[in-house]
Amino acid sequence: MKRVDVAVVALALATSQNACMFRAQPDSFRYYTLAPSAEPSVQSGSTLTVGVGPVTLPGYLSRPSLVTRVDDTRVRYAEGDLWAEPLVRQFTRTLSEDLSGALGGAKIIDYPWYPSAPIDVAVVVNVFAFEVDTTGAATVTAEWTLRDPQSRKVEYQGRSSILEPAGASPGKAAIGEAAVPALSRALALLSREIAVAIVTNRRSR
């Protein structure tokens, strides 16, 4: 083979190898979002405007991976099961949707809002845990406060600790397939507890 032919073949092989290296590989990750609840409301209709926020989550939930609680002092991050967007955004949005539904269609304004916004009650939520255990059961633990948006006076303080069983075995391949629906249901229960407190508090005025 002539020297020039050897050079041409070598160039062709190198080009082919580079093309293989830069060819798009399939995404092996699984991405999840929380789902709002379809549960019946705690009241038939509402003209309320509710301000939601700020909502704070603990730092260990700031990573994109789903979290499994192993024991009292250990958590495990799923390698292939990820939130499709920052969890605090999903949590706040889903809580707002669930709360609106639980209050019979109340208008929700997310924090921060303008001082002149016509809000009837403001809900501040501080989350301590939002995770599943090794069986796939979901836990949400949070303290929440109802405030008068103008005077900032605390009208009610509550604490929720909710355990929602997994609907199916989580398995090892896709933790999120069982975990995320359970977390969504637990979040819906939290929103209903807040909704009941809002309705009860306003009736007692």
Q: What pLDDT digit, counting tens, does each position of 73-105 carry?
A: 999 998 889 999 999 999 999 999 999 999 999
Residue ranges covered by each domain of the chain: 29-203
Tell whether pTM > 0.75: yes
Q: What is the 3-state secondary structure (H, E, C) of the chain?
A: CCHHHHHHHHHHHHHHHHHHHHCCCCCCCEEECCCCCCCCCCCCCCCCEEEEEEEECCHHHCCCEEEEEEECCEEEEEEEEEECCCHHHHHHHHHHHHHHHHCCCCEEEECCCCCCCCCCEEEEEEEEEEEEECCCCEEEEEEEEEECCCCCCEEEEEEEEEEECCCCCCCCCCCHHHHHHHHHHHHHHHHHHHHHHHHHHHHCC
Q: What pLDDT digit, counting tens, does each position of 157-168 carry?
A: 999 999 999 876
CATH top class, domain 29-203: alpha beta
